[in-house]
Amino acid sequence: MEGIRYRGRTLQECMDQLPKAPGSKIGLPEASFWLLLTDEIPTDAEVKALNEELHKRSALPADVIKLVDSIPKDTHPMTQLAMGLLALQPTSEFGKAYRSGNLKKTEYWQYTLEDALSLVARVPVLAARIFCNVFKNGQHIPSDPSLDWAGNYAQMLGVNDSDKFKDITRLYLMLHADHEAGNVSAHTTHLVGSALSDPYYSFAAGVCGLAGPLHGLANQECLRWLKNTHETLKGQEPTVELLTSFAKETLASGKVIPGFGHGVLRNTDPRYTIQRQFVQENFPDDPLAKLAEVCFQAIPPVLEATGKVKNPWPNVDALSGTCMQYYGLNQEDYYT
């Protein structure tokens, strides 16, 4: 489980220790946000207060709603998200304070935190609105202040009202709460912020980086590879022998196998391990889940045997798309 820690805690320790929604076993992502900022595990009361604060900040201004609702529906969701974020920029507390000429360097963090909290509150509402505009004919589900941050986002999508879909959404967001420092989106956000661009500008820039196919398409490509492999098998039960042969043929043809390897980690991505546990507990007999499990056994030895792969083990993208598909979120352009 080495390689990814939140404030010194493994992801499994975070799963075990972070507060949870009633009846859930998943550590709340907003609790991981608290942990990352303070180095402390929040109490249930503190998470409740944080969720109340986020709900207060979550409303989108009327002009932003008007803009987002006017964007052509065939515009990629990532483009729409970047546009929505930039439309929110005039509300930046950091920007207003800096332009006033009275902002001291020692106060930068306070106004940056204000913007960060408002962004965390507003992005799920904005992203859900974009989803419903594009895929649900503009039929929106209002925010529910009685729900936690991630559970509310899952409900606003209108895809699946089950508690398990809320759980997989919580899990996905908790596992991505600290998305490294060296990848394109995180690096871009830091770089733009270093120019004292406010968090709205910085986050929008990071989103544009994430839209690049070499960065944000990873989980889509993993899912498509699994679906194509499933079709190629033509009803045959996936076995280690069958997938080993298929993997070798894939590599021999000059293609890559997505979902395996990592730029930093040199063992199985702990985010994958936790997702795998969720799959095994909730839908182990799903065809794509079964195929992914056999791939986990068959593909690493094939990659390792090439002598060219430093890390042949699965990463977080190997299962995330499969989880979303199972619960009905099958609009792959929205995954990025």
What is the mean pLDDT of the segment spanning 210-228?
88
Residue among 115, 148, 198, 317 flagged as catalytic: 317
**pLDDT at residue 180 tops 70:** no
In a 13 Å sphere around the CA of 313, the CA atoms on its Cβ side amount to 14
What's residue 1's pLDDT? 42
Q: Active-site residue 262, yes or no? A: yes
CA-based nearest residue to 55, from 112, 126, 122: 122
Residue 263: band (very low, low, confident or very high) from pLDDT cuts 50, 70, 90: low
Higher-pLDDT residue of 203 and 269 is 203
φ, ψ for residue 173 (rounded to 5)?
-75, -35
- How far apart CA 242 and CA 260 sit, in angstroms, is 18
**What's the pLDDT tens digit per position in 17-46?**
999 999 999 999 999 999 999 999 999 999
In angstroms, what CA-CA distances link 115 with 78, 88, 96, 292, 298?
A: 21, 10, 11, 40, 46
User: With contact defined as beta carbons under 8 Å apart, do 269 and 262 qualify?
Assistant: yes
User: With contact defined as beta carbons under 8 Å apart, do 279 and 323 qualify?
Assistant: yes
pLDDT, the chain, mean: 94
Higher-pLDDT residue of 322 and 213 is 322
**What's the pLDDT tens digit per position in 66-87?**
999 999 999 999 999 999 999 9
Residue among 115, 167, 262, 269 flagged as catalytic: 262
CA-based nearest residue to 129, from 58, 28, 204: 58
**Domains plus CATH for the chain?**
44-210 (1.10.580.10), 218-334 (1.10.230.10)
The encoded tokens of residue 16 equal 């075990």
**pLDDT at residue 153 tops 60:** yes
What is the mean pLDDT of the segment spanning 207-222?
88
Q: Active-site residue 215, yes or no? A: yes
What's residue 335's pLDDT? 85
pTM above 0.85, yes or no: yes
Q: Which residue has the tokens 């395996």?
A: 260
What is the mean pLDDT of the segment spanning 311-326?
91
Kindly report the length of the chain.
336
Q: Active-site residue 179, yes or no? A: no
User: With contact defined as beta carbons under 8 Å apart, do 41 and 17 qualify?
Assistant: yes
Residue 181: band (very low, low, confident or very high) from pLDDT cuts 50, 70, 90: low
What is the mean pLDDT of the segment spanning 205-226?
90
E-assigned strand segments in 112-210: none
Residue among 187, 215, 230, 286 flagged as catalytic: 215
In a 13 Å sphere around the CA of 31, the CA atoms on its Cβ side amount to 24
What is the mean pLDDT of the segment spanning 47-65?
98
